[in-house]
Amino acid sequence: MSSAVASPLDKAVGFYQAPIGKKAVMAVTGVILFGYVVAHLLGNLQIYSADRQQINQYAAFLHDPSHAGFLWGARTFLLAAVLLHMVAATQLWIQNRSARPVRYVKKDDVPTAYAARTMIWSGPIIAAFVVFHVLHLTAGTVLPLQELGPNRPDVRANVIAGFQHPAVAGFYVLAMLLLCLHLYHGVWSMFQSVGVSHPRYTIWLKRFAALSALLIALGNISIPVAVLAGLLTN
């Protein structure tokens, strides 16, 4: 026992130094991102509403200048979560690679762990997609955006116009398949990372992870597919 009292900062640094501390940070930021993805999907699905203005009204509500503080707060919070998640993932990846300097001549893998072993690839591709997505539908750098008025984007028209380009639609579909893979492992993994596991309910945590990953991907993929199939039109 040392008599020196560790300051809260020392403790936080010590906590983060341990891989389990980094994994806890990844789990907490992972939950935040998971929650965001679910909320975003619910927003997107409004495009199927019989009321064609439904999704535009939702967008106008989010962009309402009286909520600007809230919107920017949420954006900053999510950006911070993504950055922490990526920094911890990268640090662990570097550490883990250096733990086996000499590779095996022959190495077999447990087949079901494919999603787990590719987290470090699915993650950054999803991040690149998020940048493209913001440039496409928020900033209007990829294609010109329509507006119904100031702070009132015509989301419905912009989404449909974008997905009429097969390359754009294809990239969205690919990114969502990778998100499905990432969450299939990640959502279960975050429970394991914070120590939630028991012979009786671990199987349900895995089922929940698989089901939510699948529903999120299918829900989002349905939109470009519906546009290309001519089911969603202006």
Partner 1 sequence: MRLILHIWRQRNAAETGRMVRYEAPDVNPDMSFLEMLDVLNEGLIAKGEDPVAFDHDCREGICGMCGFMINGVAHGPLRGATICQLHMRHFRDGQELYLEPWRARAFPVIRDLVVNRSAFDRLIAAGGFISVSTGSAPDGNAILVPKESADRAMDAAACIGCGACVAMCPNASASLFLGAKIAHLGLLPQGQPERAGRVQKMVRQSLQERFGSCTNIGECEAVCPKEIKLEVIARMHRDFLKAAWSGHSAD
Contact residues: ligand HEM, CB under 6 A? 23, 26-27, 30, 33-34, 37, 82, 85-86, 89, 116, 119-120, 123-124, 126-127, 182, 185-187, 189-190, 193
With CB under 5 to 8 Å by kind, the binding choice for 162 among partner 1, ligand HEM, none is: none
With CB under 5 to 8 Å by kind, the binding choice for 37 among ligand HEM, partner 1, none is: ligand HEM
**Contact map string, positions 126 to 165, toward partner 1, x by CB under 8 A:** ----------------------------------------
Residue 39 vs 231, nearer CB to ligand HEM: 39
Count of residues touching partner 1 (by CB under 8 A): 48
CB of 154 to ligand HEM, least distance (A): 27
Residue 194 vs 215, nearer CB to partner 1: 194
Closest CA to 182 of 207, 205, 220, 216: 216
Report long-range pairs for 159-163 (Cβ below 8 Å, ≥24 apart). Answer: 159/47, 159/223, 159/227, 160/227, 160/232, 160/233, 160/234, 162/136, 162/137, 163/223, 163/224, 163/227, 163/228
CB of 102 to ligand HEM, least distance (A): 23
Q: How far is CA 204 from the centre of its chain?
A: 22
Contact criterion met (CB below 8 Å) for 182 and 153:
no
The DSSP-derived string for 126-191 is HHHHHHHHHIIIII-SSSPPPEEETTEE-HHHHHHHHHTSHHHHHHHHHHHHHHHHHHHHHHHHHH
**20 belongs to the binding site for partner 1 (CB under 8 A):** yes
Helix, strand, coil percentages for the chain (3-state, nearest 5): 75, 0, 25
Question: What does the DSSP 8-state code read for residue 89?
Answer: H
C-beta neighbour count of 180 within 10 angstroms: 21
With CB under 5 to 8 Å by kind, the binding choice for 136 among ligand HEM, partner 1, none is: none
With CB under 5 to 8 Å by kind, the binding choice for 126 among ligand HEM, partner 1, none is: ligand HEM
The DSSP-derived string for 21-44 is HHHHHHHHHHHHHHHHHHHHHHHH
Residue 22 vs 156, nearer CB to ligand HEM: 22
Region 109-128 residues binding partner 1, contact defined as CB under 8 A: 109-110, 112-113, 116-117, 119
Contacts with partner 1 by CB under 8 A lie at 1-2, 6, 11, 14-15, 17-24, 92, 95-96, 98-110, 112-113, 116-117, 119, 185, 188-189, 191-199, 202
